[in-house]
Amino acid sequence: MAALPMKRAGWFLISLLCFAAMLVAWKLAADAKLINPLWFPGPDRSFSKLWEWISSGSLWSPLAQTVWRMFAGWLLACGVGITLGAAIASSAFARRLLQPSAEFLRPLPASAILPPAILVLGFSDAMIVFVVAFGCVWPVLLGAIHGFGNLDQRLGEVSRLLNLSSWQRAWKFQLPNALPDVFAGMRVSISIALIVTVASEMLSSQPGIGYLMLVAARAFRSADIFAGIIVLGVLGFLTNYVTQKLEDRLLRWR
């Protein structure tokens, strides 16, 4: 940004005010009882419920469950996606054989795997981690196939001119070259991981934030629902932020 720091701070304050205005509007709408307060609490009730969760410690266990499942599935998918992708990229034959199937499976909603997975694996953590991994693997896999398979022709010639061994070529040229595409895939799939984890928890009634919120819905505890939305929003924001920062740091050469 070319703006001076002062100007940036100024705009940040204005957007903060705008956000605060939204919260005020929310409060006014709730107070005016436009929608039944049973279903639609104001920000004060929502935030105080959230505070209650934090101070009583009842937030941490379900949150930890959600987070560990999300990361376990995502890491599993990244490991599989990257190694498989690198292997597939190295052979044109493998690409033609496997890439169409990967492209076909990409638009499949990961949650659609839940019913079959429940039939096969039952209601368990392993089932959720598997479903999350299934949903996350496609962006990473396709990113890896693209990244590992697309070394600039000129760079390929440079590596031949330098007489590099194929191991050196893979480590010094193909891997760094693949990183941008792989990271893009990893970034997309972590958003998928959060969604699929919460959806799985809701469906399979496994302890976690998702289940917590669904139970609250059935009991008409709307403040709990909103508190849960805030928690998940923060979780989503943090995961996006951290992955973006990591990516910027590792790829700062761009």
Partner 1 sequence: MLEAQSLSVAFGAQTILREVSFSVAEREFVCLVGPSGCGKTTLLRALAGLAPISSGRAVFKEQEVRGPQTELAVVFQDYGRALLPWRTVAGNVALALEARGIPRSEQSARIAPLLEKMHLTQHADKFPSQLSGGMQQRLQIARCLAQEPQVLLMDEPFGSLDAITRQELQDEVARLAKEERRTVVFVTHDLEEAIYLGDRVIALAANPGRIAEIVDIELARPRNQLATREDPRFLQYRHRLYKHLGH
Partner 2 sequence: MGAVLPVVVLALWEMLSRAEVLSEDGFSRPSRFVVAGAKALADGTLLEQTAQTFAAATEALLIAAVAGIAIGAILGLFKPLERAAQLTIDALRPIPSVALIPLSLLLFGFSRNMSAAVAAFACFWPILLVTISAVRGVDGRLIEVGRLLGFSFARIIVKFALPAALPGILVGIRVSAGIAIVVTVTTEIVTNPRGLGFAMTMAAQSLQADLVWATLMWVGVIGWLVNWSLERLERRWLRYR
The yes or no reply on residue 152 touching partner 1 (CB under 8 A) is yes
Least CB distance to partner 2 at residue 95 (A): 10
Region for residue 163 given its phi and psi (left: phi exceeds 0; alpha: psi -120 to 50; beta: otherwise): left
Query: Of 43, 13, 4, whose CA–CA distance to 222 is shortest?
Result: 43
Q: How many whole angstroms separate alpha carbon 159 and alpha carbon 163?
A: 6
Helix, strand, or coil (residue 216): helix
Region for residue 205 given its phi and psi (left: phi exceeds 0; alpha: psi -120 to 50; beta: otherwise): left
The yes or no reply on residue 225 touching partner 2 (CB under 8 A) is yes
The window from 4-12, 29-37, 87-95, 163-171 that contacts partner 1 (CB under 8 A) reads 163-171
Q: How many whole angstroms separate alpha carbon 188 and alpha carbon 186?
A: 6
Residue 242: partners with Cβ closer than 8 Å, 6 or more residues away: none
| Cβ contact 194:235 at 8 Å | yes
- Residue 77 interacts with, from partner 1, partner 2, none (CB under 5-8 Å by kind): none
Binding track over 171-190 against partner 1, x by CB under 8 A: -xx--xx-x-----------
Least CB distance to partner 1 at residue 157 (A): 6
Count the Cβ atoms, other than its own, within 10 Å of residue 181: 20
- Residue 154 interacts with, from partner 1, partner 2, none (CB under 5-8 Å by kind): partner 1
Binding track over 189-218 against partner 2, x by CB under 8 A: --x--xx--xx--xx------x--xx-xx-
The window from 7-15, 53-61, 164-172, 176-184 that contacts partner 2 (CB under 8 A) reads 7-15
CA angle 153-158-164, nearest 5°?
115
Which residue, 39 or 51, is less far from partner 2 as judged by CB?
39
Of the candidate residues 9, 115, 160, 172, the single one contacting partner 2 (CB under 8 A): 115
The yes or no reply on residue 51 touching partner 2 (CB under 8 A) is no
The yes or no reply on residue 128 touching partner 2 (CB under 8 A) is no
Q: How many whole angstroms separate alpha carbon 30 and alpha carbon 40?
A: 7
- Residue 161 interacts with, from partner 2, partner 1, none (CB under 5-8 Å by kind): partner 1
Which residue bears the tokens 């895939």? Answer: 185
Distances (CA, A) of 193 to 22, 137, 243: 29, 10, 13
Q: Which residues are at the interface with partner 1 (CB under 8 A)?
A: 152-155, 157-158, 160-164, 168, 172-173, 176-177, 179, 251-254
Tell me which residues touch partner 2 (CB under 8 A).
11-12, 14-19, 22, 35, 38-40, 96-101, 104-105, 107-109, 111-116, 118-121, 191, 194-195, 198-199, 202-203, 210, 213-214, 216-217, 220, 222, 225-226, 228-229, 232-237, 240
